[in-house]
Every structure is written in structure tokens, then in C-alpha cells.
Amino acid sequence: MSASALPERLVEFVGSLREHGIAVGPGETVDAAAAVDVLGLADREQLRAALAATVLRRSGQRATFDSLFDLYFPVAVGSAESAGPPPADAAELREALVAALAEGDEARLRSLASAAVEEFGRYGSFGDGGSGGGAGGMRGWSAYQALDRVRPDALLNRVLTTIRADDGAFAEAVARTEARSRITRYREAVQAEARRRTAELRGRERIAHYAVPPQTDLVSFTNATRAQLAELRRTIQPLSRKLATRLATRRRRARRGQIDLRRTLRRSLATGGVPMRPAMRDRRPGRPELVLLCDMSGSVAGFAQFTLLLVQALSDQFSKIRTFAFVELTDEITGLVTAGSADPEGLARRILTQAKLTRWGMSSDYGGSLASFVDGWADAVGPRTSVLILGDGRTNGGDPNLEAVRRIAGRAKHVHWLNPEARSAWGTGDSAALEYGRVVPMHECRNLRQLTHLVTELLPG
């Protein structure tokens, strides 16, 4: 890259970061340029660190930053040079991959990732006389296709046999965890490589726009991949700590109440009617009670499960939390959730197997569930309870049973409905969201950022 092209590239890069929700001001861009000026361009990892230091402001942004960095400041142009001769077919590549995975050789893994994309990831017509980017819509590099041929996940056992130098089930268990995370890194490398190659073909900005995954806190709950859900779960502990500090501060601030006029006047008698020392009305202490009512049907289970874990992690902020899940019927799952904090992954499965939520099918029945909640656990909701209902409000054409929601709202201190669907989808098809929304306040809650915001806003301090 020539020196004159750099400012332009940097500005494009920053623009792309902004598009992905990382706010980078002009001041930061200038800092970044100054950093590059001081460091030079010789070392790519130094450049990466320098840009990260100047433009990023919080830790969660790193993955997005790295993906975009690889696009805008690629390792190489065209097919990346590989450490050895390129493998002839899939079998040979898998052979090499097993060795690299077993050794944990990162450089070799990366070169095998680019080899996989080069050999198997190509799609569309790559004729020699191809007309540049014009007809580029039909060709490109596909990580999916490459991974489909290489099938790195199926290599786990072969990697383990290779590693197993010393015996022992313990050593094997450690090796297994290691091998798994290396395979994940390999998959990511293939994806990054395919993005980079496609970007060369079709223009960087397009690829940056479509193919770079969003930041974790903007991933939508309902279409998150397994890996993204795992990443989301990993953020729960730090997030809950952050939220707890915020709630505790707010509670402390709120402890001193308003001026108590009567006592102030009474006191002022001693100073001849001049209110020298205003008396404050003390707030009644007490933490709020919380009732969660979660739709655990397939479409929204991920969202409900995540919210459950978050609330569970915040449990010391409430005097009492009771959790109910429903699909067709409602059942209390407080005990399951409490026990589930050690194993967040299996929580949904255990709720579905151990609680009585269904009669026949797996599709949600809001009417029946709400009715069974109101009938069976009427005492769960009292004047000090805040109720959160989690669900998309899709009744499958059944009766929404607004009356039940009205009754809950009548008894509770307040009720909020968190809906993981986009606001624009409310009321379409079998969604009764708008009807429910007229009874209780309904909030769009599609990603971690919205959930964080809602939890701090809605929960009484």
C-alpha cells in the first residue's frame, strides 16, 4: 500500500466501523493516523494493535473490529501464500489439517484455511476473460462450500488419536476441549478468508456491509447461531455485575426521599418558624419482587432462556423471584432456573423435559397458558410484584385471552411485556402483540443492548 492511499483507506475503514455500530469520531481517526505515522506500516499486528487502541472504546467491539481490519488491511492480495505446497484434494487437506490441529500450529491452520477456500470455496464462473466486477454477482468464494468439503468438525476423533501421546482419560478430556476450540478457530479463519477474497472481487464496502457479523450486543436473540448464543451467555456474568452496580447506585440515590413537609414545619417551630433543617421522608426499604412469565416455545426459547439467566444472575437485587414457563400450559420453574445457573447450555432442555408445559404439541397457546397461570398461581402476583412477560405474542390463531393479562395487570405493581420481534412485525399474521400492547406496555427486545436498557429502566430501583 502506498503512503498516499493510506488516509483514504483509513477513512473507509472508519466509515465501515461506524456502519457496524462502533462510534468513531473524527478525533479518533486523527489519532489513528498519528499512531500509524509513528509506527509505520511494516508490522501488520502492530498496525492492528495501534488502530484498536485508538478507535475502540469497549471490549465487546473487538470481534467486529478484527473482521473489518482483515478486510481493509488484508494479509495478501489474491491467493495467500501457503507454507507448503497446496494440497491436491480434500482428503490430503484433511490429513494436513489433522496434523495442524493436533499440534496447534496457528500459522499452518491459517494457511490451510486459505487453501480450503482456494480449492473448494470457489463458485460461479471464473473464466480467464472475466469482466471484473461487473458481472461479479454470480461468482465469489464461499466459506460454507469450503467447510462442507473439508468438514473440520468430523476430524475431532482423528485429531484426538494423533494427540494421544500419553494416556489417561484426563489428558484426553483436556485434549478434546483444546481440539474443539482449535476447530472453531479454523472455521473462523476459513470464513475470514472467504470474506477477504470475495471482497477483492466485489468491492470491500459491500462485503463489509453484508458479511461481517454484528457486535455481540446487537445480535438478534431469535436468529443467533449456536456460537453467538454461547458468546451471549459468556457475557451474562460481567453484564449482570455491571447492572447490579447500576441498580445499587440508583437505589442508594433514591433512599433519601422527598421533603416531609409536616415534620419540617414541626421542626421549624424551634427556630421561630424558619425551616432551618428540612426533614426528609424516608423511603420504605425493600427490594422488589419479580415474576417472570416466559414463552418457552421453539421460536422464542433462546430469548426467554437468555433473559432468565440474566435475571437469575441479578437475583440478589430482588427479594423474591418466581419464574414461570409456558408453551400450552404454565408451570413454575423457579427451582430449575436456580439450579440451572451452573449449566446454562442445558437449561432450555431441562425446562422442557421436567416442567409440565405441553399437552399435545409444541406450539404456544397463549390463551390457555395465561388462563392456567391466573388459575393456578394467582397468589404469585401481589401489589409489590413486578411482572415481566417474555414472548412474541403469536397465538397460533387461538384466543389471546386479554382478560387474563388484564387481571394480572390489575393485581401487580406493574407489568411489562418484552417482545423479541421487530416492532414492524407486531400484529402481522397470528401475532396478538398489538392487542396485548394495548393492555400492558410492550417493548421491543431483540438484542442484548435493548435487554440491558430495559432491565435497568423497568426494574424498580
Partner 1 sequence: MQEPLFDSVDEVVERLAGAGYLASTAVATTVFLADRLGKPLLVEGPAGVGKTELANALARATGSDLIRLQCYEGIDEARALYEWNHAKQLLRITAGRDEGWEQARDEVFSEEFLLPRPLLKAIRNPDPTVLLIDETDKADVEMEGLLLEVLGDFQVTVPELGTISARRRPFVLLTSNATRELSEALKRRCLFLHLDFPAPELERDIVTLKVPGLDARLTDSVVRVVGALRSMELRKAPSIAETVDWARTLLALGADTLDEQVVETSLGVILKYQSDHRKAAAELRLDTLLS
Q: Which residues bind partner 1 (CB under 8 A)?
A: 25, 27-28, 31, 34-35, 38-39, 43, 45-46, 48-50, 52-54, 56-59, 62, 104, 168-170, 173-174, 177-178, 180-181, 230, 233-234, 237-238, 241-242, 245-246, 341-345
Name the minimum Å distance from CB 230 to partner 1.
7
Nearer to partner 1, 104 or 460 (CB): 104
- Residue closer to partner 1 (CB basis): 7 or 238: 238
CB nearer partner 1, residue 177 or residue 271: 177
The answer to whether the beta carbons of residues 355 and 324 sit under 8 Å apart is no
Q: In the Cβ-directed half-sphere of 255, how many Cα atoms lie within 13 Å?
A: 9
Query: What is the four-CA torsion angle of 100, 101, 102, 108, rounded to 10 degrees?
Result: 20
In terms of CB distance, is 176 or 413 closer to partner 1? Answer: 176
| Integer Cα distance of 398 and 363 in angstroms | 11
Separation of CA 163 from chain center: 34
Query: What is the number of alpha carbons within 13 Å of residue 268 lying toward its C-beta?
Result: 12
Q: How far apart are CA 191 and CA 329, in angstroms?
A: 42
C-beta of 107 vs 276, nearer to partner 1:
107
Between 234 and 266, name the residue whose CB sits nearer to partner 1: 234
When the beta carbons of 317 and 395 are compared against partner 1, the nearer one is 317
In the bound state with partner 1, the residue whose beta carbon lies nearer, of 106 and 375, is 106
| Shortest reach from residue 4's CB to partner 1, in Å | 23
Kindly state the greatest CA–CA separation across the chain: 100
C-alpha cell at 421: 420481534
Query: Which residues, in sequence order, are CB contacts of 459 under 8 Å at separation 6+?
Result: 247, 288, 290, 317, 386
CA–CA gap between residue 140 and residue 126 (Å, rounded): 9
- Smallest distance from partner 1 to CB 49, Å: 4
Give 113 or 408: the residue with its C-beta nearer to partner 1: 113
From the CB of 398, what's the least distance to partner 1, in Å? Answer: 37
Q: How far is the CB of 369 from partner 1 (least distance, A)?
A: 30
In the bound complex, what is the minimum distance in angstroms from residue 78's beta carbon to partner 1? 26
57 vs 277, which CB is nearer to partner 1?
57
CB of 313 to partner 1, least distance (A): 9
Residue 370 C-beta-side C-alpha neighbours within 13 Å? 22
CB of 82 to partner 1, least distance (A): 22
Q: Which is nearer to partner 1, 114 or 240 (CB)?
A: 240
State the DSSP string of 313-346.
Answer: HTGGGSSEEEEEEESSSEEE-HHHHHHHTT-GGG
Contact 107, 83 (CB under 8 A): yes
Q: How far is the CB of 414 from partner 1 (least distance, A)?
A: 27
User: CB 70 → partner 1: shortest distance, Å?
Assistant: 16
3-state SS of 212-234 is: CCCCHHHCECCCCCHHHHHHHHH
Compute the least distance from the CB of residue 228 to partner 1, in Å. 14
C-alpha count within 13 angstroms, C-beta hemisphere, residue 149: 19
Cite the DSSP H helix spans in 347-445: 347-354, 366-376, 402-411, 433-439
Which residues, listed in sequence order, are joined to residue 320 by a DSSP beta bridge?
289
Contact 408, 374 (CB under 8 A): yes
